[in-house]
């Protein structure tokens, strides 16, 4: 069975890399415009919410259609960078300052599903000025860095995951494995 994943983009610089990484894994991937009210999650086995230039919570009013999707989604979901912050904020987490740029050591405290097999630490590519400073209730913190204590999250009951770093960039160690793990969640 070929897995189909919708990649929701916000104008971030790495959207096409996410798309390409999924194609390299044999996934049927589609880039989807978040501003379209006619987005049909039923067309996909999973959803990736990618990065972009918006700031949360200041720009949340520009993202109403995606907020609705995050709340009602029945498919597995992976948030990356801005997607990580959006998922956290929608579920009640707190977003604040948290600047990281370039290679960062990420310490994995719980491999859970999405980080299974990556090991106790990885070098990951970061590009953000905001970060999750308080995780939402019903989410487990999976990883941290020296500056950002919430690098990766997993919902305790739903197949919702998020990472602050960019697994699609070759600078991130074992980024492909993170995508493979998400594809396996979507395959179920």
C-alpha distances (whole Å) from 183 to each of 3, 44, 175 are 7, 12, 13
Which of 126, 166, 173, 186 is flagged as catalytic? 166
Q: Establish whether 81 is a catalytic residue.
A: yes
User: Given 32, 81, 84, 173, which residue is catalytic?
Assistant: 81
> What is the largest distance, in Å, between two alpha-carbon atoms of the chain?
42
**Catalytic residue at 168?**
yes
146 is catalytic: no
Q: Of 41, 58, 61, 51, which is closest to residue 159 (Cα–Cα)?
A: 41
DSSP state of 127: E
CA distance 47 to 65: 14
Neighbours of 92 (CB within 10 A): 12
* Catalytic option among 84, 126, 128, 168: 168
| Catalytic residue list | 81, 166, 168
């Amino acid at each position: 069975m070929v897995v189909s994943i919708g990649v929701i983009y916000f104008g971030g610089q790495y959207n096409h890399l996410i798309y390409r990484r999924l194609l390299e894994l044999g996934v049927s991937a589609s880039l989807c415009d978040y501003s379209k009210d006619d987005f049909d999650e039923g067309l996909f086995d999973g959803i990736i919410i990618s990065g972009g230039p918006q700031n949360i919570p200041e720009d949340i009013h520009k993202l109403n259609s995606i907020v609705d999707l995050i709340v009602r989604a029945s498919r597995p979901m992976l948030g990356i960078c801005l997607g990580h912050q959006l998922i956290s904020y929608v579920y009640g987490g707190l977003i604040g300052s948290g600047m990281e740029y370039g290679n960062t050591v990420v310490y994995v405290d719980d491999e859970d599903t999405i980080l299974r097999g990556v090991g106790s630490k990885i070098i990951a590519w970061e590009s953000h000025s905001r970060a999750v400073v308080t995780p939402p209730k019903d989410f487990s913190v999976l990883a941290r860095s020296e500056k950002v204590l919430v690098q990766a999250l997993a919902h305790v009951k739903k197949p919702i995951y998020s990472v602050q770093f960019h697994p699609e960039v070759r600078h991130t160690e074992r980024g492909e494995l993170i995508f493979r793990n998400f594809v396996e969640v979507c395959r179920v």
